[in-house]
Amino acid sequence: MKLRIQLGLNVQEIRRSRGISQEALAHAADIDRGYVGKIENAKHAATIDVIEAIAKALDTEPMELLKPRC
């Protein structure tokens, strides 16, 4: 469960740093907007395919999305 929270916070942080809305990220990653919210709030267990699509949409390495939070 901890990794879900890490993933969610990393996606949110990178998305915001890029000035991208949840809606724009969902569109770019070809996933449902509500789903982006559930991932950022650790309410849903994203698959490796969704993680890949989000990383591509955020123009970041997938590994960065699993980076431990300091």
Residues that bind a copy of itself (CB under 8 A): 1-4, 7, 45-49, 51-52, 55, 61-63, 66-68
Question: Nearest distance from residue 33's CB to a copy of itself, in Å?
Answer: 19
- Hey, what are 8's tokens? 């969610």
Residue pair 33/22 in contact by the 8 Å Cβ criterion: yes
Q: Give the DSSP letter of residue 70.
A: -
Question: Nearest distance from residue 25's CB to a copy of itself, in Å?
Answer: 17
Question: Nearest distance from residue 7's CB to a copy of itself, in Å?
Answer: 6
